[in-house]
Structure 1
Amino acid sequence: MRVPEEAEVLSERRLAPQHLPAASALAWHAHDEAYAAVLLDGCYLEAGDGGRFKAEPGQVLIHPPFSGHANWIDRGGVALVNVPLSVVDGLRLESGLVGDPEQLLDEIGRRPGQAGALLAAAVRPSAKLESDLPDLLATAMLDPEAPSLTEWADRHQVSARTITRHFRQAFGISPARHRLRVRTLAAWREIVDGVRSLADIAAAAGFADQAHMTRSIVTLTGRPPRAWRDVHLVQDAV
């Protein structure tokens, strides 16, 4: 991924609504660039690195760089606007709800250079789905010290095969792949936005060593950790 300048990202915004057909599904997919999805009309379910959300009008879903998810569209179809974000805004903003999405998009259109600040001021927190076993497993995997899938399944009185099948149905990918993505993204975030050494980041994220982390980050982003640490230093200098 080429890291764009902040002004370049914000000058290329396209605020035209995107329409997704009724009763359709988007298989699991990933995006290199950060963006905020602002839902104007309709409902859909999104399952991704950050958990599962039932999106209704006014929902704002923040997608950091390299995020992945699957979508299931309700019978009425949806209309949404994808607002491109800088790397920094993609990492620091949180998903949530906004009272008047049309007004928010109008303000972003008038002041594109302040899109991140406008989103931060307008969006209030919203809960993700956490009632089903796949959601509980996804939450557990956010912890670098989470138990193995077999141990977790035993604690919840379900077989590893069963929870794997249900998780894949709910999230569009296997638990093992999801866990590696979550671990890799957590390490990448710390590299770009933190100050700890690469070795310390690898250990904190749950990797066996720095070499394993490096391979995972290169696979996910196309760049090694030290290149992303350089991006972090450049951002701090701006």
Structure 2
Amino acid sequence: MPISTVLSASPDHKLVLSHYEPGEESRAHRHDCWQVSLLLAGGYVEDSLYGSLAVDRVSLSRKPSGFEHQNLFGTAGALILSVHGDAGATPPHRYQVATCSSRQAGQTFLEQAAAEDGRDWGAQHGADRPACIPAWLNEARHRLVEMPRTPIARLARDMERHPSAFARAFRAAFGRTPAQLRQDWRVASAIDRIIRSDLALAEVASASGFADQAHMTRAVTATSGWSPGALRRLLRR
């Protein structure tokens, strides 16, 4: 189940940090407040009247109050920072999901949401992806995270592709290089262990495939905005 903490609150909105565990499912539901959310790490699939949308990069989502949706969270869970507005604040006019260039850019949009700035974000997330991703690329993506210590060049050869051609096709399909996708999954997996396990941080780093705790600390801080220790203090029950 989700673990959440309120980071700040005002009369018309609050800022909430939430972590969803791997494979968690939120059945069809509605919120009684509008929300603007920033996916910091991990991923999910969201189903609504607009169809099914896979979100697994730094992305913003906004939903009017009462918007029905359901979610299935990915194999590394998800860390999400959200602004929740009350009925008296200016709500988003429509459901929208958009990819962000960086965490910092996403947080700027969250600040604008808190200030009731309802500007449009542009294209919907995933609009530039191929309509149908070849089966071999989906298999390659699966192997990247299931075999985190396998060199990417070897994986490319296993898929009978030259490493350069493999990297180009992978980026065209998923918006990231194989190395970046693996690193993003590693960070999300580490965040899950930081929040939901009793492992020492050095053990979390090793279990998540990092060279050492310092390497993990830099990666987690860059991704989330908090150090591993700070995340654990914020979200541990």
Q: TM-score, normalised by structure 1?
A: 0.53
- Structure number with higher helix proportion: 1
Question: Aligned AA for 1:40?
Answer: L
**Over the residues paired in the alignment, what is the CA RMSD in angstroms?**
4.0
3-state secondary structure, aligned to 2:48: strand
Does residue 48 of structure 1 match 2:56? yes
3-state secondary structure, aligned to 1:230: helix
Shift of residue 44, structure 1, vs aligned partner: 5.9
Select 2:228's aligned residue among 216, 225, 229: 225
3-state secondary structure, aligned to 1:203: helix
- In structure 2, distance between residues paired with 1:145 and 1:179: 7
Select 1:31's aligned residue among 24, 34, 39: 39
Count of residue pairs the alignment pairs up? 155
Does residue 65 of structure 1 match 2:65? no
Shift of residue 136, structure 1, vs aligned partner: 1.4
Question: Aligned AA for 1:196?
Answer: L
3-state secondary structure, aligned to 1:142: helix
- In structure 2, distance between residues paired with 1:189 and 1:225: 10
Does residue 14 of structure 1 match 2:28? no
Alignment of 1:168-207 (within 5 A): 168-207=171-210
Q: Where does residue 4 of structure 1 map in the other structure?
A: 6
- In structure 1, distance between residues paired with 2:79 and 2:138: 22
- Structure number with higher strand proportion: 2
3-state secondary structure, aligned to 2:47: strand
Deviation string, structure 1 residues 188-224 (Cα, Å, up to 9, x no partner): 1110111111111101111111110000001101111
Q: Where does residue 211 of structure 1 map in the other structure?
A: 214
Counting aligned pairs with the same residue, the percent is: 25
3-state secondary structure, aligned to 1:207: coil
- In structure 2, distance between residues paired with 1:220 and 1:189: 13
Alignment gaps of 5+ in structure 2: 17-29, 58-67, 82-93, 98-131
Q: Where does residue 65 of structure 2 map in the other structure?
A: none
Alignment of 1:121-200 (within 5 A): 132-143=135-146, 145-200=148-203
- In structure 2, distance between residues paired with 1:47 and 1:167: 16
- In structure 2, distance between residues paired with 1:46 and 1:11: 20
Shift of residue 146, structure 1, vs aligned partner: 3.7
Alpha carbons of 1:161 and 1:66: their partners in 2 closer, same or farther (altered >3 Å)?
Answer: farther
Q: TM-score, normalised by structure 2?
A: 0.53
Question: Aligned AA for 1:206?
Answer: G
Alignment gaps of 5+ in structure 1: 19-29, 50-56, 68-78, 83-128
